Amino acid sequence: MKTITILFILLLSGCSANYTTESFVYQDDEPEKQLNITKIQTELAEANISAVVSDVSLKAEDGITLRGIKLINKDALVNIVFFSANGMKISTSSKILNKFSLLPANVIWFDYRGMGVSDKKDKLSLNNLRTDALRIFDFSKIEFPENLPTTIHGLSMGSLIASYVANNKDIDALILDGAISTVPQLVDNLMPTWSKLFYSINLSPELAEINNVDFIKEYNKPLLFLIGEDDSTTPVANSKELYDISPSSVKVLAIIPDTEHAQTMKKDKAIKAYQDFINNLVCCKNG
């Protein structure tokens, strides 16, 4: 999703580009006024989905307000806390809720700070995103039905946030969708081969150190990888690497044919793999 932006900056800046968390993570100039809940509810109704959506909000550790959406499905088998891709806002990507409803699942999804309907501060750090994510998880545990397993789903950049939460909170399962192994590897994947001869990218220490490898080595609960076969942003090899180092006794690598980055949930084969994973999780949790 960041490919065009990165290339444009490289061409403007000459031989190198410097990235910090603030410049790498998408930020709107101003927050959106509010979510159009009626529109999202209508999208669900048009798909013959009876789930109910409502807007939610919470105060971040530094006092700003984070805003998002809650979807409740009366037939849900699982609760999902969703952490989206870089630049993926609820207002423009809400139809993914229709796909989650097919599992079926309850979902809570907040826009990241500085994006969509969530408030923005002048400075953005990795610590901001992580502390926000922990608060979102705690909030979700209160909002969700207690009798269902609670899982974390991280898409692309959200995979880095999701795995952090998974290692700091008591969750039932983790889903990494288009998983990033490390940020330096992600940037390398996004740069065309020809450009590497002429341009270089310098990452701040904070960005250079972000990785899923360390988190996955420590995570031992059920784990599902969803990855598009044609994904060049986070190639299949990245997910295979994480799968291989995972100590989880219950882990699944679902490679979805003819699918590019961040498109897995649009495919029936991904939904089927997700459903199988959830059914196994529910079965095991119920003994």
Residue 273, judged by CB atoms within 10 A of its CB (0-12, 13-18, 19+), counts as: buried
Please provide the average confidence, as pLDDT, over all residues in the chain. 92
* Rg of the chain, C-alpha, whole Å: 18
What pLDDT sits at residue 283? 82
Residue 48 — pLDDT band, cuts 50, 70, 90?
A: very high
Closest of 234, 198, 206 to residue 13, by C-alpha: 198
Rounded CA separation 154/110 (Å): 12
Rounded CA separation 226/214 (Å): 19
CA dihedral of 14, 16, 20, 24, whole degrees rounded to 10: 60
Q: Is the pLDDT of residue 8 over 90?
A: no
Query: Would you kindly state where each structural domain of the chain is located, as residue ranges?
Result: 36-195+210-285
Per-residue pLDDT tens over the stretch 88-102: 999 999 999 999 999
- The alpha-helical segments, DSSP class H, found in 144-193 are 157-166, 183-190
- Say whether domain 36-195+210-285 belongs to CATH 3.40.50.300: no
C-alpha distances out from residue 151 to 72, 141, 148, 165, 278, Å: 15, 10, 10, 10, 9
Per-residue pLDDT tens over the stretch 205-230: 999 888 999 999 999 999 999 999 99
**Reported pTM:** 0.92
Closest of 225, 218, 227 to residue 246, by C-alpha: 218
Q: Is the pLDDT of residue 279 over 70?
A: yes
Per-residue pLDDT tens over the stretch 245-261: 999 999 999 999 999 99
Per-residue pLDDT tens over the stretch 170-209: 999 999 999 999 998 998 888 776 565 566 778 999 998 8
CA 149 to chain CA centroid, nearest Å? 19
Give me the amino acid identity at 95. Answer: K
Tell me the percentage of the chain whose pLDDT exceeds 70: 91
Closest of 150, 152, 123 to residue 224, by C-alpha: 152
Better pLDDT: 154 or 195:
154
Q: Is the pLDDT of residue 4 over 50?
A: no
At 126, list the tokens: 């990795």
Residue 23 — pLDDT band, cuts 50, 70, 90?
A: confident
Q: What is the mean pLDDT of residues 31-46?
A: 96
Residue 107, judged by CB atoms within 10 A of its CB (0-12, 13-18, 19+), counts as: buried
Position of tokens 């059914």?
A: 279
Tell me the percentage of the chain whose pLDDT exceeds 90: 82
Per-residue pLDDT tens over the stretch 54-113: 999 999 999 999 999 999 999 999 999 999 999 999 999 999 999 999 999 999 999 999
- 3-state DSSP call for residue 19? strand
C-alpha distances out from residue 210 to 102, 135, 244, 264, Å: 33, 20, 19, 24
Task: Tell me the HSE value of 80 on the side-chain side, using a 13 A CA sphere.
Answer: 31
Closest of 138, 147, 145, 76 to residue 110, by C-alpha: 138
